[in-house]
Amino acid sequence: RRLRRYLTLDDFEPQARRLLPKFLYGYISGGAETDAARTDNRRAFEEYGFVPRVLKDVSGRDQTTTLFGKTYASPFGIPPMGSSALCAYRGDIVLARAAAAANVPMILSASSLITLEDVRAANPLAWYQAYLAGLDERIEPLVDRVAAAGYDTFVVTADVPVPPNRENNIRNGFQVPLAITPRVFWDTVTHPDWLLNTWARTVFNHGMPHFENMDAKQGPPVLSKNLMRNIGSRDQLAWKHVELIRKRWSGKLVVKGLISPEDARLAREHGCDGVMVSNHGGRQLDYTVSGLRTLPEIAAQKGNMTVMVDGGIRRGTDVIKALALGADFVWVGRPFLYAAVVAGEAGVARAIALLHDEIDRDLALLGIRSLKEITPDLVRKY
């Protein structure tokens, strides 16, 4: 009932900001350095408007989408977001369950704090996203673990060879590993809702959270000084490792975090089933252009690959613009995590329903009944 006042995805952010310690709100919302990449994610969508058609019977609208052989309720899903369970109690499970209930896909992050086996149990359609060291002997056992857990889709995030430069995290005292500095301590005690309902409840019920899913075995606790050891060697990751995974992994394989059409071509040549055109929500290399800007070029040469995009998608109109410019599917990150912070599974369900309803209304107003009818001539650059 109290969720009725949330009318669109952006409505969840202010309340999440109030509830979360500053360092966690900053971690979710922030981009890298000057925030130019994140800013471009919104600007790119704002550069397009619609040319709707009228007087067409638009009854019986349908936004179901088939993705890797499965039919989903909508053309959007929840992308991987690390440390979700630090932001909302059991955050990855919350996102996984809400996605399953609404029949939209959800991707578990490598930097999550709940085992991939538990998340798979909560959502039998969840995908797994990997952050990989460029070392065969580290990759192989992880691929085997993900396969043994029953996952069908393996996503390799390609845009994190080194940790990004997010100065807001440093300013707020949020570092990896997490350290309880006086600033962080004050930040948490002044946000008692988070301290009790997320942190204390997690530690009481499940113990100190660990990074569970970076490797074949449990990783270090969030407060551990050993974490950087896990992150080392990521800068050696290269296409030859994608090849290695392709040989070992019989499910669908997706590369996430490329922008260049040349890289999309390489993904196709290395046998990937899909790509996620993404600048990581503007969180990695600053001034990386929005995925929307290279999407049409990538879509034009996709062959049999599925082309997906994310970054700054907040409205049904954004979803439709991305599909009109060549995407087969889109992903929406931050708003669903804010919704989990605000109201757990019910919050995420509300957010998914809002976006679904916006798309349905927009289809009618555009004069079309299904996603197949979304064509480039429905949009114009301003």
Using CB under 6 A, list all residues that contact ligand FNR. Answer: 27-28, 41, 79-82, 109-111, 129, 157, 256, 278, 280-281, 283, 310-313, 332-334, 337
Taking the least distance from each CB to ligand FNR, the nearer of 30 and 326 is 30
- Which residue, chain included where needed, has tokens 């055109």? 277
Contact (CB, 8 A) for 88 and 347? no
Closest approach of ligand FNR to the CB of residue 110, in Å? 6
DSSP helix/strand/coil, 35:
coil
Taking the least distance from each CB to ligand FNR, the nearer of 252 and 256 is 256
Closest approach of ligand FNR to the CB of residue 146, in Å? 15
Closest approach of ligand FNR to the CB of residue 155, in Å? 7
* AA identity, residue 118: D
Q: Which two tokens stand for residue 311?
A: 């970054």
Closest approach of ligand FNR to the CB of residue 124, in Å? 21
Helices assigned H by DSSP within 21-173:
22-29, 36-46, 84-87, 91-102, 116-122, 136-148, 167-171
CA–CA dist 202, 93 (Å, integer): 13
CA–CA dist 377, 366 (Å, integer): 11
CA–CA dist 291, 95 (Å, integer): 24
Nearest-CB residue to ligand FNR? 333
Q: How far is CA 215 from the centre of its chain?
A: 20
Closest approach of ligand FNR to the CB of residue 53, in Å? 29
Q: What is the DSSP code string of 67-81?
A: ETTEEESSSEEB---
Taking the least distance from each CB to ligand FNR, the nearer of 334 and 350 is 334
Phi, psi (degrees; rounded to nearest 5) at 235: -75, 0
DSSP structural state of residue 123: -
Taking the least distance from each CB to ligand FNR, the nearer of 90 and 334 is 334
Q: Which two tokens stand for residue 190?
A: 């002044």
- What is the SS3 string spanning 92-115? HHHHHHHHHHHCCCEEECCCCCCC
Taking the least distance from each CB to ligand FNR, the nearer of 39 and 370 is 39
User: What's the angle, vertex CA 193, arms to CA 23 and CA 4, rounded to 5?
Assistant: 100
Contact (CB, 8 A) for 38 and 282? yes
Closest approach of ligand FNR to the CB of residue 308, in Å? 10
- Known catalytic residues are 280
Taking the least distance from each CB to ligand FNR, the nearer of 58 and 156 is 156
Taking the least distance from each CB to ligand FNR, the nearer of 326 and 333 is 333
> SS3 helix, strand, coil % of the chain, rounded to 5?
50, 15, 40
Neighbour-count burial of 203, counting CB atoms closer than 10 A to its CB (0-12 exposed, 13-18 middle, 19+ buried): exposed
Closest approach of ligand FNR to the CB of residue 334, in Å? 4
